[in-house]
Structure 1
Amino acid sequence: MEEVAMEKSVSKSDATNNRMEFPKESLGNFPIPAGQNYFNFVAMDTLGRRWGFKVSIRNVGRYKKPWMSGQWRRYAREKGLKKGDRVKLTMHVEGNAVRSYRIRAERNLTMRIWIPVEEFAR
C-alpha cells in the first residue's frame, strides 16, 4: 500500500537552494539509522527518472528541523519549481520492510486542481 510520506508547499528558498526544509512530522517515514543524522534514499518521479535524496537532521542542539538535499537543487531546477508549487513524496513498504519512494511536483491550476509540473512544459 502506498502512503504519503511527506507533502510540502515549496517556499522561495526551497526552489533556489541546495536543500528543502522538511516537515518535522514526516521524519518518521525516513528511518535514520541510530547514531547517524541522515538517511539516503532514491525516489522515482512521474517520468520514471530516479533521483537521489538525503534527509538530514541537526545532530547538535534541540532544534531538529530536518531538510532534504542530495539532488534536490537539480530536481527543483529541472522541474521549474517555484514558490507555491507542491512536492509530494509517497512511500510503499514491502513485506520485508523495504521502502520505495516516489516524488511528484505539482502546480496549482485552480483552487482545487493540482497537476504535475511536467504538464506545464508541453
Structure 2
Amino acid sequence: MPKMLFEKKLSKTDIEYRMTVPMKSLDAFQIPEGEHSKDFGVTDIHGRRWRFRCCTRKTDPYPKPVLSSGWIEFAKTRSLKEDTRLSFEI
C-alpha cells in the first residue's frame, strides 16, 4: 500500500521554474552524503514513467530541496496550473 510522502498546492514558481519540496520529505529522496542532487523515477496516475532530479542548495545551511530536471516537462505535459493539488506517494 502506498504511503503519502507529501501533498502540495502548486505555486506559480512550482509551475514555471522548479517545484519546492517540503523539508520533512527530503530523506525520502536519499541524496548521498556530500552530494546535492539525485535523479529518480516516478510513475504518474496514468502509468507513465518520468525522471526528475531532486536538488538542494550547496552552500546554504538550509538545503531547501526542489525538483528540477524533468519537472517542468511534466508540469507542461499535464497542463498543471497554479493552485493544483498534487500528492506524492512512496
Q: What's the RMSD between the two structures over aligned residues?
A: 1.1
Identify the residue that residue 75 of structure 2 maps to in structure 1: 76
TM-score, reference length from structure 2: 0.91
Higher-Rg structure is 1
Unaligned runs of 5+ in 1: 92-122
Identify the residue that residue 44 of structure 1 maps to in structure 2: 43
Unaligned runs of 5+ in 2: none
Which structure features the higher share of strand residues? 1
* 1:61 CA displacement: 2.1
* 1:6 CA displacement: 2.4
Residues 6 and 39 (structure 1), Cα distance of their counterparts in 2 relative to 1, 3 Å cut = farther
Greater RCO, CA 8 A, separation 6+: 2
- 4+ residue stretches of structure 1 with deviation over 4 A? none
Distance 2:80 2:42 in 1: 17
Identify the residue that residue 23 of structure 1 maps to in structure 2: 22
Distance 2:81 2:29 in 1: 25
User: How many matched pairs?
Assistant: 90
Q: What secondary structure is seen at the aligned counterpart in 1 of 2:67?
A: strand
Q: Percent identity?
A: 36
User: 1:87 aligned to 2:82?
Assistant: no
